[in-house]
Amino acid sequence: MSDTVIYHIDVNSAFLSWQANYMLAHGESKVDLRDIPAVVGGNEEQRHGIVLAKSPSAKAHGIHTGEPLAQAKKKCPNLTIVPPCFDIYVENSKAFIELLKEHAPVVEQYSIDEAFCDMTGMELLHGEPVAYAHRLKDEIKERLGFTVNIGISTNRLLAKMASDFRKPNRVHTLFPDEIPEKLWPLPIDDLFYVGHSTSEKLKKIGIYTIGDLAHTSLNLIRSRFKKHGEIIWNYANGNDSDMILKDKAKANKGYGNSITTHYDVTDRETALKILLSLCETVGARLRADKNYISVIAVQLVDYEFRHSSKQTTLSSTTNVTEKIYDTAVELFDKLWNHSPIRLIGVSTSRAGTDRYEQYNLFDMDKYEKLGKLNQAIDTIRDRYGEDSIKRACFIDSETEHMSGGLGRAKRAERSLQHGHR
């Protein structure tokens, strides 16, 4: 065994486990959500509600994270659906990370429900690493009330792959000498950083397992998939060179959000309110990452599922919500043909840390002042919750003031990582 020992610790069905603990502890339910077909998801009456987390028995019905709630209900008519409460998840995540810091000299949080622990050199204190991982897993269950999987290896990639083996409440190893037996027989879809599109392209050239990729010429893979091909070829051979965290930390090239409405939108006022809620979220994410964008686009899908989009390039970079919104409104008015709308999206691109301004006679320092106001609002929301301050037009409105995808989960995670709450 190498001197380097890395744990990857992943909470099993985190949102559902944390929700179940809270409901049991506060008398909101006598039934443990983990013991029945249950999911955490959005409002099931709204078409954009999706599954955020699922119980083992829900998984047995073929329910997947990310699928629409309506589809999940068809698979399991007696499915229990619980709306998410991200404040609960943030508090549980904090407790999880703090416990890990009691045992590991280096803890690197990877997401709201998973972390890497560098346990190198801890054998004298904790004993044999695999046996200690079992004790740590059990301590997390006893003290915090939820289960985890722990993957152990000599680098982050292999530790993360190991933690994804059989669940829940397990410890798995994937050391370099175990790669041929444990990693290579797995389907190519299971390899970290291989998405559906890449998987299908690999299968077309005869690569069906991780071992197939590992034994294919690097030059061939590089010629077909460029830099991405080189990365996944190294992953298939168990090499990470710390690329996981570097890739994760890399700045987004673009930021976007979209929402499928739970009714057909036929009036401009409602459409613009939804547009504003999406711009609120996009702007907040940009400022959190200290990035600026110079391209803005609007996407629409009408009631007959016809797609249309329009984009423009700005003369100045920005992360100001109002600038993004004003530009999005201009694009919307050029794009919309008054057909009933089913989906509205706002996306931005050419993101980076460089900031340049080109003032004109009409706005002068307007957006500079609004930018400072945005930052003050961000600070209040980070400290007291995103619902602590909202625009007046969203009060008593059916439209959430910050919308789009898994926005609340991601923003709760960002707030946790930045240490605001």
Report residue 10: phi and psi, to 5°.
-125, 125
Q: How far apart are CA 231 and CA 269, in angstroms?
A: 47
Residue 114 a catalytic site member: yes
* Phi, psi angle pair for 123, to nearest 5°: -60, -35
Q: Is 312 helix (H, G, I), strand (E, B) or coil?
A: strand
CA-to-CA dists, residue 195 to 151, 234, 355, angstroms: 21, 16, 33
**Exposure string (b/e) for 72-105, b if CB count within 10 Å is 16 or more?**
beeebeebebbebbbebbbebbebbbebbeebbe
Instruction: Classify each residue of 363-384 as buried b or exposed e, where b means 16 or more C-beta atoms within 10 Å of its C-beta.
Output: eeeebeebbeebeebbeebbee
CA Rg value for the chain: 23
Gap between the Cα atoms of 263 and 55, Å rounded: 30
Name the catalytic one among 28, 67, 114, 304: 114
Closest by CA position to 371, among listed 419, 311, 316, 296: 316
The set of catalytic residues is 114
